[in-house]
Amino acid sequence: MKVHALGSWEQVPSSPSTSSSFSSSSANDPKRLRPLAPRLTSAAVSTAVATEISAPPKLRKSFSSPMTAKCASIDLDVSLIQMQSGGTRWNPTPEQIKLLEALYQGGMRTPNPVQIERITMELGKYGRIEGKNVFYWFQNHKARERQKQKRSELLALAASAAPLPHPKVQLQKEEIKEFHGGSCKRKCRSWGSLELAVEEEGPGDRTLELFPLHPERKQM
Amino acid sequence: MKVHALGSWEQVPSSPSTSSSFSSSSANDPKRLRPLAPRLTSAAVSTAVATEISAPPKLRKSFSSPMTAKCASIDLDVSLIQMQSGGTRWNPTPEQIKLLEALYQGGMRTPNPVQIERITMELGKYGRIEGKNVFYWFQNHKARERQKQKRSELLALAASAAPLPHPKVQLQKEEIKEFHGGSCKRKCRSWGSLELAVEEEGPGDRTLELFPLHPERKQM
DNA sequence: GCAAATTAATGATTTATTCAAG
DNA sequence: CTTGAATAAATCATTAATTTGC
């Protein structure tokens, strides 16, 4: 068995089983393409999810342990298998989230590899999880907490120093919700026309630059 | 994919939240300050390396030393040596750079794991190199070429005193949809740039994501 | 009630910035 | 100053929530 050790990103398998990982290139080429397989129906999804949660160690074997390769040539196959087996993204269980948040609360922000491994193992008790999920969780959580902080600061600022009837502040959805005191739960589409001169819409809106040069070359 | 390994997680508390090892880590969250990275002691390094976990999103193969072309147990030693030797960063030889630039010139931007491995092997003939070096090189080169491009565009613009080449207009959701005619749903961000418009590669190309090698530097 | 349609939340990727060695 | 390395910010994409029309 070879084990390469530790090289930078490599993880050392305790058994010869894995390693390849290249496969992880989960979504390989069809990067942006809509999944060939039509989206699962909600029923199917529910079932799948439920099953998965209740029986973590079972599903998707190929996804979690592609045993092959250490040679590039095989990776392709692995990728295919992996894709077919329906690689779904990690969906944290309440227990997992609880623990992660506790750690974050405790001050953890960017756990090192050793810490990540420990956390992964601990969380593995509650459901399938990988180190990268933990890593990503901290990255995202940290970033989003920052955003929240920044926004609330802005909000406070706009509120305190607002001689203007309609402060020109770009509010985020959550803030708008907050602002309206929860009386208007959603229906964001119409929020823009409420008393607040908020013109922001859904998450799909963005500032775009016109004149795409070769849009057809991207994705398709 | 998966694996885990070495980490010995002795004594697994059933109530993780109290695990001292967890919270102990990064108690500080220096917002912007980047702590001086104290040089790791060899002992620390060994430990870190030995338990490196990494489940980097993509790239997981052992992109390590050149000399272990096919797999090997030597990787460990090389890594250690490299790290212990004062953590010198990769210093590309002229031959290596020449080849990399040739590849870039040929259109390569974000080589996939397989490609990276091949490149690493090839470049290994001229000097020590790891997959991550190749990865970083492409990332940086791409980014810096972009900066250069942007700067020169700005200069040209200032010189000609011409109006903005790409007027930014805030489109509404519906307009965006209409504008794109549904052929390209998203991914509009880089359209404004000439260079970027053509940079995309074939369907087989994948991007690699890095896993922080020494996150502990932030925390200590 | 229910299932399609919408919207919000968030996992995963990519790009921009920053740090610091040489 | 150049550039390898690393992190943060922005973005993309999928899943869960919620709403809506029947």
| Residue A120: burial class (beta carbons within 10 Å; 0-12, 13-18, 19+) | buried
Partner A contacted by B120 (CB < 8 A): no
Beta strands in A126-185 (DSSP E): none
Reduced to 3 DSSP states, what percent helix, strand and coil does chain B have, rounded to the nearest 5? 45, 0, 55
Closest chain B C-alpha to A42 CA, distance in angstroms: 24
Q: What is the pTM of this model?
A: 0.41
Which segments in chain A show pLDDT lower than 50? Answer: 1-86, 162-220
For residue B168, which residues of chain A lie inside 8 Å, CB to CB?
Answer: 207-210
pLDDT at B160: 57
- Cα B47 to the center of its chain, rounded Å: 23
Beta carbons of B75 and A111 less than 8 Å apart: no
Amino acid code (one letter) for B62: S
User: How far is Cα B157 from Cα B147, in angstroms, rounded to an integer?
Assistant: 15
> Could you tell me which chain A residue has the CA closest to the CA of B214?
A112
**Using an 8 Å Cβ cutoff, are B134 and B119 in contact?**
yes
pLDDT at B150: 72
- Cα B29 to the center of its chain, rounded Å: 23
pLDDT digits (tens, 9 = 90+) for B76-88: 222 232 333 346 7
**Which residue matches tokens 């010869």?**
A16
- Mean pLDDT over the full length of chain B: 47
Q: What angle do CA A100, A101, A103 make, to 5 degrees?
A: 65
Distance, angstroms, CA A104 to C1' D5?
26
pLDDT digits (tens, 9 = 90+) for B132-153: 888 888 888 888 887 777 766 6
CA distances to A124, B102, B187 from B200, rounded to whole Å, are: 37, 17, 12
For residue A26, which residues of chain B lie inside 8 Å, CB to CB?
Answer: 57-58
Min mean pLDDT across A137-141, B48-52, B66-70, B134-138 is at B66-70
Q: What percent of chain B has pLDDT over 90?
A: 0
pLDDT at A168: 39
Please state whether strand C lies within 7 Å of residue A90 at its CB atom: yes
pLDDT at A140: 94
Helical axes B113-124 vs A72-84, angle rounded to 10°: 170
Which of B170, B168, B157, B174 is closest to B192 using CA atoms?
B168
